Chains A and B, each alone.
Chain A
């Protein structure tokens, strides 16, 4: 069965969604139970995949047994396995939270099958081995995202949904144009095959490849919400219910970052230096713009959305170094920040549920009435700001060290400064909402919502406790990513 392991993360959520849609459509309780059980099964599959690939093997799965580069293939390595598992763990917490957070009307509007379709698209993007299918999986993800963003059809959701739709359609069009250019210049879209052909491209086709590289950089920046293409995010992500926006904030933008990690070292080995410089500069500006945006906000989930932009800046900067230490730092940071960011969104969800308010100014004194929530926020907030001994501290340290190693003092300085502003913005929430006079109502909050937050915070604490082996693994992953020859061999020459 292990030969079919790489395709299971795609087939599993699809089959689950169909069961939810066809068999269990009448009963919300059954849908909940089945979604959760299926998701735990998915986590088990992905743990197996991670264990299998942790030795450094590159798994190639040929759909319909068509040979590469003619057929469609899936490709899994350490990075894919990490991303898959990370997405599923976050999904478990989100799903648990949704049990308490969503009203039955939204649950009846096919929330559970849609959530599975979203996972299907993400998993597909993490596993695909060619550029065109990356586009297709982006679209699958987006269609589910559109539906989840506007699920419930509140005015605010629809207002956020329309620009989101229009902008993403533009992004998709650019992506398609880039894929068309690449196909025209090289005659293939298989990433491993492209790796060989783009390195050998000369004359006119080399120019076309360069244009396509820049186009793809723009598209991925857009998906990842990197400056200057971040503006859709702070309006869009806070609009849906907290469970949905937490999953978007934790995982959805990471697809863009994952694509950068996958595509640039592998597909365009010649353009590395150009892309690296671009990513570092954009990353540095993103850090500052994001965190300044956050400092001015009072609406909690909007504030956290601005922090996404600044955290993505860290990822882009670390990735842009394109050294083993830099890429390893980006992977390491991404694990920390997916868990913590999703956790903070869920904390915000609990605060909103409890007080009926979404602005830090209208909430106060939560420390006394909800000490457990205060503790969870304390850990997650300080972790986001990068204070020891929480996970963010180690994540920021590796980024800063990687930056200094390359003597990028300005950008690294900005990264440190951004940490300081992040701390300020977390302190603002703490000071206004957890300390001070009690303000806002106090409504009961379902236990399961606390459980979901605790799950993510626990994961982040464990991550901090075992940071050394995790970081060693991230380094191995980075080394694998930066050696495209292995992919070419695995895809084009082995298994014939």
Chain B
């Protein structure tokens, strides 16, 4: 059964939640936040859509196989760690640099962010896969 109030709120909250989760992902390098919590927040935003609408709606929001999402996330984190080996330093040793981006100004970019993006994707994939498997029989197996 669909509730009009919940559906309207969920629709309005969706972009806010996603933006805030990206903000958490971005600030995670120096301040509280990071890929894990950001991933949970994005997943929570999608779970809200589940409750407000239905499984098919969430499928439309994120039309990828969650297993692939998990794999992509892990691969992203793993390759970030492996990059260090190419430079001759230890696995997972991170680098950072300051870049000037037109219109924004000085920005610090670190390889730790790429690692965090991997975590972010993995967490979204795992959470949604669990919810989908428990909630929707067509996902099982």
Contacts and interface: CB of A to CB of B under 8 A. Distances in A.
B97 to A, nearest CB: 17
A14 B74 CA distance: 9
Given A11-B82, A15-B78, A64 B91 contact: yes
B116 to A, nearest CB: 14
B71 A7 contact: no
B129 to A, nearest CB: 12
B85 A64 contact: no
- The majority secondary structure among interface residues of chain B is helix
Contacts of B92: 63-64
Contacts of A153: 141
Contact of A21 (B71, B90, B93, B94): B71
B141 A22 contact: no
Contacts of A4: 85, 90-91
Contact of A22 (B68, B93, B94): B68
Contacts of A61: 90-91
A462 interface: no
Nearest to A110: B67
Contact of A18 (B74, B81, B94): B74
B141 to A, nearest CB: 7
Given A4-B85, A109-B141, A18 B91 contact: no
A14 B85 CA distance: 16
A200 B71 CA distance: 46
Interface residues of A, number: 17
A109 B90 CA distance: 35
Interface in B71-91: 71-72, 74-75, 78, 81-82, 84-85, 89-91
A242 B91 CA distance: 37
Contacts of A63: 90-92
Given A14-B74, A22-B72, A65 B141 contact: no
Contacts, number: 42
Contacts of B93: 64-65
Interface string A444-481: 00000000000000000000000000000000000000
Nearest to A74: B91
Nearest to B82: A11
Nearest to A108: B141
A83 B85 CA distance: 25
A73 to B, nearest CB: 10
Contacts of A110: 67
Contact of B94 (A11, A14, A64): A64
B48 to A, nearest CB: 27
Contacts of A15: 78
A443 B141 CA distance: 29
B71 A22 contact: yes
A22 B75 contact: yes
Given A4-B85, A21-B67, A109-B141, A11 B74 contact: no
A40 B81 CA distance: 24
Given A22-B71, A22-B72, A109-B141, A14 B78 contact: yes
Contacts of A62: 90
Nearest to B81: A11
Interface in B81-138: 81-82, 84-85, 89-94
Contacts of B85: 4
Nearest to B74: A18
Given A21-B67, A109-B141, A65 B90 contact: yes
A22 B69 CA distance: 9
Interface in A23-58: 25
Contacts of A65: 89-90, 93
Given A14-B78, A15-B78, A109-B141, A7 B72 contact: no
Interface string A311-342: 00000000000000000000000000000000
Nearest to A73: B90
Contacts of B78: 11, 14-15, 18
A109 B91 CA distance: 31
Contacts of A18: 71, 74-75, 78
Most chain A beta-carbon neighbours within 10 Å: one of B67, B71, B141: B71
Interface string A109-140: 11000000000000000000000000000000
Nearest to B70: A21
Contacts of B82: 11
Nearest to B67: A21
Interface string A60-74: 011111000000000
Contact of B91 (A7, A21, A22): A7
Nearest to B75: A18
A4 B92 CA distance: 12
A59 to B, nearest CB: 13
A452 B112 CA distance: 43
A109 B141 CA distance: 7
Contacts of B68: 21-22
B7 to A, nearest CB: 35
A18 B81 CA distance: 15
Interface in A59-95: 61-65
5 contacts: A4-B85, A21-B71, A61-B90, A64-B91, A65-B90
Given A61-B91, A64-B94, 5 more contacts: A15-B78, A18-B71, A18-B78, A21-B70, A65-B89
Interface of B: 67-68, 70-72, 74-75, 78, 81-82, 84-85, 89-94, 141
5 closest A-B pairs (Cβ-Cβ)?
Answer: A64-B92, A21-B71, A22-B71, A65-B90, A64-B93
